[in-house]
Amino acid sequence: MKTPFPREGILAALAIPTDVRGRVLKRALAAHLAWLRERGIHGVLGLGSTGEFPRFSVEERKAILETVAELAAPLPVIANISDIRPQAVAELGRFARRLGLPGVAVMPPSFYPVSAADQLAFFDYAADAADVPVMLYNFPELTTNRIGLETIASFADRHPMVAIKQSGAEFGYHTELLRLGAQKGFAVFSGADTRLPEVFKLGVAGCIGGLVNFVPEMMVEQFRVFRKGEAGELEPTASRMREVGASIDRLTFTLNVAAGMEARGLEVGAPKMVVSAASAKIYGEIVENLRAKFAAWGLAPAGPTASRTRRRAA
């Protein structure tokens, strides 16, 4: 039976472990997803920004989405079909529908400026091809193109828009999106992993974040306490999340997520980019710092096998 699109909760913006040749480490991915599932997450965003989708070909992305859907079951998997090429977006959208996934996520085309009218036309094209529920994905720091409220409203009037994910520095945009979502019937998810008490207080439905990859139980607890009103301590989990954020913010995204995962004992594979000696040094320091914090907080390592990350100095 097809899993419905999650309307709230903590979803992992899933990291994809690969070897030095870019091949997916299926055993590591399976272990990671099983571990996340056991810790109560509510779903997965497949090949989002944390999954480094631009580094894979369309055929590789299709194979990865199929693998993630298989290994994550029964969790719902949302396929990110974003691409600068409309034909790739359409092909991935049709593939997600054939897999029976509950929905797709789509960002604006990146790199080149896109007018509001052309952005809406791009989203129309993606939605028509996929023919499944859609989550728009706003992350202007990565795409260079912000999704405006008028574009979102027009899209929601024309297609089955179930959600929007808001990521990046414009924290105040959550409030405007929530107001529009209440009018148009879509949920708002946040990528602000370390600010969950604030976003839940605003009324955000959940978080789709990279930090879910390595501290899922902390984030699920915050969802239960802050969003669902269940019994639990508001602190120290929130302050610990801020400590995690301060530690990994010394390194750029997505290497910082990999460092957090390695500190938790997860196998992250090889970096998908050339890593300088300076960044490799910071990476090691973050792993040591977080490993000590996790031990002090009673967060057990995710598995007995340490990651075998290989770093190349530029």
CATH numbers and ranges of domains, the chain: 9-226 (3.20.20.70)
Query: Residue 80: what are its φ and ψ, rounded to 5°?
Result: -80, 115
- What sign has the CA pseudo-torsion 193, 194, 199, 200? positive
pLDDT grade for 234, boundaries at 50, 70 and 90: confident
The rounded distance, in Å, linking the Cα atoms of 134 and 150 is: 17
Residue among 181, 119, 168, 125 at smallest CA distance from 145: 119
What pLDDT does 3 receive? Answer: 82
pLDDT grade for 313, boundaries at 50, 70 and 90: very low
The rounded distance, in Å, linking the Cα atoms of 294 and 79 is: 31
For every residue of the chain, DSSP letters joined together read: -PPPPP-SEEEEE----B-TTS-B-HHHHHHHHHHHHHTT--EEEETSTTTTGGGS-HHHHHHHHHHHHHHHTTS-EEEE---SSHHHHHHHHHHHHHHT-SEEEEPPPPSS---HHHHHHHHHHHHHHH-S-EEEEE-HHHHS----HHHHHHHHHHS-EEEEEE-SS-TTHHHHHHHHHHHHT-EEEE--GGGHHHHHHHT--EEEESGGGT-HHHHHHHIIIIIS--SS-STTHHHHHHHHHHHHTTS-TTHHHHHHHHHTT---BS-SS---HHHHHHHHHHHHHHHHHHHHTT---S-SSPP-------
Mean pLDDT of the chain: 95
What is the average pLDDT across 7-27? Answer: 97
Residue among 237, 240, 252, 247 at smallest CA distance from 288: 247
Residues with Cβ within 8 Å of 182's Cβ and at least 6 positions away in sequence, in order, are none
CA atoms within 13 A on the CB side of 268: 26
CA 108, distance to chain mean position in Å, is 16
pLDDT tens per residue across span 35-55: 999 999 999 999 999 999 999
* Confidence check: pLDDT of 310 > 80: no
Q: Are 273 and 314 in contact (CB under 8 A)?
A: no
pLDDT tens per residue across span 80-107: 999 999 999 999 999 999 999 999 999 9
Share of the chain above pLDDT 90, in %: 93
What pLDDT does 233 receive? Answer: 79
Q: Are 164 and 138 in contact (CB under 8 A)?
A: yes
The rounded distance, in Å, linking the Cα atoms of 30 and 2 is: 21
What is the average pLDDT across 176-201? Answer: 97
pLDDT grade for 113, boundaries at 50, 70 and 90: very high
What pLDDT does 182 receive? Answer: 98
pLDDT tens per residue across span 267-305: 999 999 999 999 999 999 999 999 999 999 999 999 754
Give the torsion through C-alpha atoms of 99, 104, 108, 111, to 10 deg: -40
What pLDDT does 236 receive? Answer: 86
* Confidence check: pLDDT of 306 > 70: no
The rounded distance, in Å, linking the Cα atoms of 35 and 303 is: 9
